[in-house]
């Protein structure tokens, strides 16, 4: 049943996943599925768990900051392989038990870097928002490119009048807006520097 759900989502997108579609994929009836799962949300949790179990468990660096970069890149790459997962997770009420070890390791690294547990949770949330935002934009741009539609945003940014908007004009002249969106590591690195600098400053406060 979970394999059938994954096939539907990979082929047709998350909006296509219904109990009826899964039943049709299995040549069964929707009522038969309800003997195994309570509803679509429970099926989604099983599917999220199935995907989270595929995350590799790499050897983690001892240094907390390097450990954090490794773990966040692991999450980013895993989510990038299944864009629909981001759509499910941002709704905020479902998650996979199989990913809890990653969260534990991230919190542990923040604590090892000097944050309290509450500060570590806040830092986790902030870094999670960066990750989800980066993936949402990346996947959105990929869908636009696949559709063949022109990017109005790009033409607007590249066509600004540098006399009235000199900073936007300077960026437009550099061609920055047309470059591939591959700056996640740079953004996460800068964010972690800021979060960990706060912890260092707090430790130095008399």
pLDDT-derived band at 198, boundaries 50, 70, 90 = confident
Residue 186, pLDDT > 80, answer: yes
Domains delineated in the chain: 1-52 (1.10.10.60), 59-203 (1.10.357.10)
Q: Per-residue pLDDT tens for 34-55?
A: 888 888 899 999 999 988 999 9
Residue 168, pLDDT > 80, answer: yes
Tell me if 83 sits within 8 A of 139, measured CB to CB. yes
Q: What is the pLDDT of residue 91?
A: 83
pLDDT (mean) for 170-199 = 91
Q: What is the pLDDT of residue 142?
A: 85
pLDDT (mean) for 102-131 = 97
In angstroms, the CA 25 to CA 199 distance is 52
Q: What is the pLDDT of residue 201?
A: 67
Measured CA to CA in angstroms, residue 48 lies from 56, 148, 149 at distances of: 15, 31, 31
Torsion region of 149: left, alpha or beta (phi above 0 gives left; psi -120 to 50 gives alpha):
beta
pLDDT (mean) for 53-75 = 95
Of 74, 68, 81, the residue nearest 196 (C-alpha): 68
Of 183, 74, 75, the residue nearest 134 (C-alpha): 183
């Amino acid at each position: 049943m979970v394999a059938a759900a994954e096939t539907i989502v990979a082929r047709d997108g998350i909006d296509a996943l219904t109990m009826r579609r899964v039943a049709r994929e299995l040549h069964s009836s929707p009522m038969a599925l309800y003997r195994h799962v309570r509803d679509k949300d429970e099926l989604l949790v099983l599917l999220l768990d199935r995907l989270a179990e595929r995350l590799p468990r790499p050897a983690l660096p001892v240094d907390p900051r390097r450990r954090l970069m490794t773990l966040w890149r692991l999450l980013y790459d895993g989510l990038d392989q299944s864009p629909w997962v981001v759509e499910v997770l941002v709704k905020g009420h479902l998650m996979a038990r199989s990913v809890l070890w990653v969260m534990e390791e991230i919190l542990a690294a923040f604590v090892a870097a000097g944050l309290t547990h509450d500060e570590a949770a806040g830092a986790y949330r902030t870094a999670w928002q960066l990750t989800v935002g980066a993936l949402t934009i990346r996947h959105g741009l990929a869908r636009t490119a696949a559709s063949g539609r022109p990017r109005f945003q790009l033409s607007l940014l590249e066509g600004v009048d540098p006399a009235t908007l000199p900073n936007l004009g300077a960026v437009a002249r550099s061609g920055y807006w047309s470059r591939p969106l591959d700056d996640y590591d740079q953004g996460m690195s800068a964010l972690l520097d800021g979060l960990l600098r706060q912890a260092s400053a707090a430790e130095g406060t008399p």
